Amino acid sequence: MGSLDSLHHVSGWAAHDASGQVSPIGYTVRETGPNDVLIKVLFCGICHTDLHQLRNDYGASKYPMVAGHEVTGLVAEVGKDVKGFKDGDRVGVGCLVGSCHGCKPCKQDMEQYCPKRIWTYNDVSPDGRPTYGGFANFMIVDQSFVLKIPDNLPLDAAAPLLCAGITVYSPMKHFGMTEPGKRCGVIGLGGVGHMGVKFAKAFGLHVTVISTSPSKENEARLVLGADAFLLSTDEKQMQAAAQSLDYIIDTVPSPHPLDPYLALLDMNGKLIILGVVPSPLQFVTANIILGRRLIAGSFIGSIKETSEMLNFCVEKNVSCLIETIQADYLNKSMKRLEKNDVRYRFVVDIGKAFESKPQAS
Ligand SMILES: *[C@@H]1O[C@H](CO)[C@@H](O)[C@H](O)[C@H]1NC(C)=O
Ligand SMILES: *[C@@H]1O[C@H](CO)[C@@H](O)[C@H](O)[C@H]1NC(C)=O
Ligand SMILES: [Zn+2]
Ligand SMILES: [Zn+2]
């Protein structure tokens, strides 16, 4: 391997405890195996899940933790059996870096539902090492979990597509939410919700943003292109909108009542839940029975679908609205993310942090 050996000594930012504060860390990744792609990381989005994992909100965090699962960069080295990628290719990595390849979901190209899925970080690689994410200058990933980023997509704005984007694109395809003219509501204008508005518009749907905050209306209409806005705290507006939607994309990650939203759905309407809520949600069963409504969930999307989504984004000129930050702003960005104070995704310019420094040798 010669000079490339140094690329396996990685520099990143890790949390060392549940404070979630990150500080520099160095570690070694495995040598490039036959199916491995070594990636020089240039950009990494910050997802709400990162915040929860860094702070051990799910109770399963292992430290040190190098978070980040919305990663884009360039191929630095490929293993001898890697066919689809070569040095310098623009690539991305999302939430997963492994699966069993043998179970029913894997065989149906839905490896995100594989019980043996390997998370991009806070998990264990087949070689026994911890998995570390994109808040670092290099990652090594099995070729089956690496995505080509089309030339026309900027690497910074493409990064959040790999979690926030696919989280909403996959259920829209699966549940048939692609018929122009159908009416779609979106609850929660965060990273995932804003992509919901963009994809729904790209599929030709009539989009209503539903929010508790009147201040979101201008933004929803003028910046994101929503067709309508519904203030969920205004009972009159909510009543007037009864049975006016075919679909609702619910991205709210905290406890909230479902009944007021179910009432907005027309007959056969679908409420798709994408936010991981830490406690059980309740609803009145008559609200789904009388109207044959459906409540469903969905989890990210497969590599195959993600690849399809990236091409769709080129075709329809869809990308994420991002705020690019430098690595020394990581702690502060987490604080702001906690308050939803970002339009709509932070993306860390990882490449820049290493520009001025010569690579370790
Ligand atoms: C693509 O989208 C960007 C921003 O969302 C916009 O500035 C640009 O004009 C669009 N390009 C085309 C060809 O529609
Ligand atoms: C984040 O905060 C910790 C604790 O205050 C500090 O040690 C660390 O350098 C900060 N990290 C960054 C990237 O600024
Ligand atoms: Zn995520
Ligand atoms: Zn499997």
124-175 per-position pLDDT tens digit? 999 899 999 999 999 999 999 999 999 999 999 999 999 999 999 999 999 9
Cα of 319 vs centre of ligand 1, distance in Å, is 9
Q: What is the pLDDT of residue 7?
A: 73
Q: Is the pLDDT of residue 2 over 50?
A: no
Nearest CA to ligand 2 atom 12: 328
Cα of 87 vs centre of ligand 1, distance in Å, is 30
Q: Is the pLDDT of residue 312 over 50?
A: yes
pTM as predicted = 0.94
Atom of ligand 2 nearest to the CA of 331: 1
Nearest CA to ligand 2 atom 13: 328
Domains of the chain: 4-163+321-353 (3.90.180.10), 165-297 (3.40.50.720)
Q: What is the pLDDT of residue 278?
A: 84
Q: Is the pLDDT of residue 211 over 70?
A: yes
Q: Which residues line ligand 2 (CB under 6 A)?
A: 13, 21-23, 327-328, 330-331
Mutational pocket test of ligand 2: of 23, 46, 55, the residue with most ligand atoms within 8 Å of the beta carbon: 23
Residue closest to 37 by CA, chosen among 139, 155, 126 = 139
Per DSSP, what are the bridge partners of residue 147? 92
> Average pLDDT, stretch 211-221?
93
pLDDT tens digits for 190-206? Answer: 999 999 999 999 999 99
Q: Is the pLDDT of residue 5 over 80?
A: no
